[in-house]
Chains A and B, each alone.
Chain A
Amino acid sequence: MVTIILGMSSNKKWFSLNLNSKKAESEDTCGCGKTSGGCGSHKPAIGEEAKKDGFDQVFDVKMDRRTAFKQLTASLAIGAGAISTSCSVISGDETKEKAQIDWEEQFKGNYKLMTNEEKNGTVERLVRSYQLRTGKTISMSSKNAEKDVLFGYAFNISKCQGYMDCVSACVEENNQDRNSQMEYIRIHEMKDGKGFNFNEADDNYYHEVPAEGHFYMGTQCFHCDNPPCIEVCPVQATWREDDGLVVVDYDWCVGCRYCMAACPYDGRRFNWSKPEVPEEEVNKNQHYLGNRLRKNGVVEKCTFCVQRSRAGKNPACVEACPTGARIFGNLLDPDSTIRWVLENKKVFRLKEDLGTEPKFWYFMD
């Protein structure tokens, strides 16, 4: 079964609507031309978002119960505010630049539909904006999917001991909100002899592990090849990239949370308030579609650490796992470990009957 699926996948005949058919001539580089790691020349924009939220909120107060057209008017008003600031003689150059960036960021398009130049443009603005606001420089990539890469993940249930190092590594790597303790990964502690009984499992334990008579398994976004969540998004703010990653454009998301209702795997998280990461803990190696700082009222999710995986590294959870339960790699590379696992182990996926085609397999030794 698995081999069949893989065979198909190498011919790109996965059971999926490839929304991103535009294709990847675009390729690897971020603005600076480096293909891996941070290029160090761009920077992201967290405080920027905070500022924008401020604008939004001021205007939203007056916007109670109006339709989308009214919202547009408000957006224009924000822009007008930015313009008036940028034209003001009194304000300093930096203020003007900030206003200019706010203006352009407010009216930029959907990242999915951007050309490479536009992608670089927004990344540069975000980096500069962060610099203006905090004085710190971050590196942000807009690296596209590479050709002949399809990411997949396998989880060894026999090995996992429930240490949750993956969970903390994920939070640190991906700049998740510390206040709400947002976590992409959930580790389910299950009782031996009960099989995969999620109902009786505990995904919120605080005792010493491994606990006697229990086994552990982790769930996160499975990066389905036929993801229900992307179909329901009214604005295409979330989509499947050519390397199989299901990503979100945080700046395009309107926060309706329809995707959360549509996900059968509890893979998505929402920023119920403004996410906060202490400045010294911010991971400054970022990707536009990955761990850049988020804002209030948008959906986010695991991206298989796009900032790492597209730079040829393993996701943070794989690297952090002390037991080697997590395996990540390119499904189209016949020599990859993930391929070896799929071909030599009895693998299965969760809720296969839903037709979602997760690229996340479980197996046992």
Chain B
Amino acid sequence: MRRIKVFGSLVKDSIDVITHGSKKYHIWMAVLSFVMLVGMYCYSIQLDEGLSVTGMTDRVSWGLYISNFTFLVGVAAAAVMLVMPTYVLKDVDFKQAVLIGEGLAVAALLMCLAFVVADMGGPSVLWHMIPGIGVFNFPNSMLTWDVLVLNGYLFLNISIPFYILFTRYQGKTPNPKIYVPGALLSVFWAVGIHLVTAFLYQGLQARPFWNNALLGPRFLASAFAAGPALIIVVLAIIRTYTLFKIEDKTLKKLAMVVTVAAQINLIMLISELFKEFYAPTHHSESAYYLFFGLDGKTALLPWIWTSISMNVLATVMLTFHKLRNNFRVLFFACVMLFVAIWIEKGFGLIVPGFIPGPYGKIAEYTPTGIEIGVTIGIWAFGAFVFTMLAKTAIKIETGVMQYKNKKST
């Protein structure tokens, strides 16, 4: 009974926190809401006319939506890089950051689900996928695995922070015996979501560009670079604009994680390039298209070379301690890395898988305005959700927002 009362008060206080803030906060949320509305409008056009309003065709049947989905699974998985040291290795440096990381994971997962729904031809019959009511093709279809692991991970990333915040809200200390097993599980689960998502592509013998044993490991490496890079930037923003204390030490440790992951990612990239270009076969054509263009079709060239330059530059900058420990350089490198990997996992991975087609046809893909509108709308939605989660969490963590037990008695 008491718990329900506390919960009710928590919800009330949270709404209070979310709806009140500085002018900058209100402007930020208003801008996000506006972008979301634009996205919804674009989506309503897509529902009305069909997916023909996107740049996708029978030849390139997945595009911007699935690209963003793939990338965001990685961002969500990267929360583990904070969870593991904090809960499992008991490294206090990350304690402040971990709730933020988990909030980011929740936002990223919701965006993943939104992108999948946006990509569906028949969103109104998605209930066909609900086990028990519909037909769930488990374990044959990797997509069903993905549905399970993503929703499981979403549950873990909601329940663990909720437990911690709920106890802190009451002024108590969370019991590690309750949350550490969950945290431990989420560490393995995070690796799982990204590997399963990679297997979605890796398991297709029809697409040699994806049908490659390095795909899964490379997903992990790039995710553990891009995700924490985003977290560093977010933490930097949070500590500038709120009272929430994040020590330099935390950022520096995170930067170390980003650096190692980015280095491993580059090594794997070199391995892939070597395999594709040292002794090129028929199966290297997608890579040729991606990096050099085929038959004068070169739509992806600017993207991939931007991505690779940024990737290399950022990794080099991060590798030198002096540069990495300078926060301006660090933030700049993190932003570059994030964008580079977004391109690499999106345009650089999903689109060339379809080009050339099964019979060598080279049909290029360019996203349309409506597609981009929906995509930006979903990103705004993610930022919106994250802002709300982070704001509440920070207020509880800093002790500003607490259950007023004494008052009521």
Contact = CB atoms under 8 A, between A and B. Distances in A.
Interface stretch (A36-44, A229-237, A302-310): A229-237
A69 interface: yes
B140 interface: yes
Contacts of B205: 228, 264, 354-356
A66 B123 CA distance: 10
Nearest to A296: B50
Contacts of A256: 116, 119-121, 143
A15 interface: no
Contact of B359 (A186, A228, A255): A186
A232 B121 contact: no
B47 A231 contact: no
Given A65-B118, A69-B130, A203-B359, A258 B143 contact: yes
B158 interface: no
Interface string A60-75: 1101111111011011
B30 interface: no
Interface stretch (B183-191, B350-358, B386-394): B350-358
**Which of the listed residues B116, B144, B360 has the most CB atoms from chain A within 10 Å of its own CB?**
B360
B50 A272 contact: yes
Interface in A260-289: 260-266, 268-274
B206 A264 contact: yes
Interface in B112-163: 113-114, 116-130, 133-137, 140-144, 147, 151
14 contacts: A56-B123, A60-B123, A61-B40, A64-B40, A254-B125, A254-B129, A260-B58, A261-B207, A261-B354, A266-B358, A269-B58, A270-B58, A273-B51, A356-B205
Given A113-B135, A188-B359, A261-B353, A232 B141 contact: yes
Interface residues on A, range: 35 or more
Given A61-B44, A65-B113, A297-B120, A271 B141 contact: no
Contacts of A264: 205-206, 358
A257 B61 contact: yes
B62 A261 contact: yes
B50 A273 contact: yes
Given A75-B127, A261-B207, A203 B50 contact: no
Interface in B322-367: 353-354, 356-361
A254 B126 contact: yes
A270 B121 contact: yes
A199 B356 contact: yes
Contacts of A298: 121-122
Contacts of B377: 64
A68 B58 contact: no
Interface in B191-226: 200-201, 203-207
B65 to A, nearest CB: 11
B56 interface: yes
Contacts of A71: 117, 123-127
A22 B15 CA distance: 54
Nearest to A298: B121
A272 B56 contact: yes
B317 to A, nearest CB: 36
A219 interface: yes
A342 B204 CA distance: 29
B128 A235 contact: yes
A196 to B, nearest CB: 10
Given A65-B110, A256-B120, A272-B52, 4 more contacts: A59-B124, A61-B47, A71-B117, A297-B122
B206 A201 contact: no
Which 8 residue pairs across A and B have the least CB separation, nearest first? A255-B121, A297-B121, A65-B114, A264-B206, A273-B50, A272-B52, A273-B52, A199-B360
A10 interface: no
Nearest to A107: B127
Interface string A298-329: 11000000000000000000000000000000
A180 interface: yes
A262 B206 contact: yes
B359 A254 contact: no
Interface in A172-213: 180, 182, 186, 188, 198-201, 203
A203 B359 CA distance: 9
B173 interface: no
Given A60-B47, A64-B43, A228-B205, A255 B130 contact: no
Given A228-B204, A234-B136, A252-B125, A297 B58 contact: no
B228 interface: no
A123 interface: no
Interface core residue of B52, B113, B124, B126 (most chain A CB under 10 Å): B124
A234 B129 contact: yes
A55 B206 CA distance: 36
A231 B357 contact: no
Contacts of A199: 285, 356, 360
B399 to A, nearest CB: 34
B127 A234 contact: no
Given A78-B124, A253-B121, A257-B62, A65 B206 contact: no
A63 B360 contact: no
A232 B142 contact: yes
Contacts of A237: 128
B378 interface: yes
Contacts of B47: 56-57, 60-61
A225 B99 CA distance: 50
A181 B124 CA distance: 26
Contact of B120 (A219, A236, A255): A255
A255 B134 CA distance: 15
Given A110-B135, A269-B58, A254 B52 contact: no
Nearest to B350: A261
Given A188-B359, A255-B120, A273-B49, A235 B134 contact: yes
A60 B124 CA distance: 7
Contacts of B40: 61, 64
A271 B110 CA distance: 27
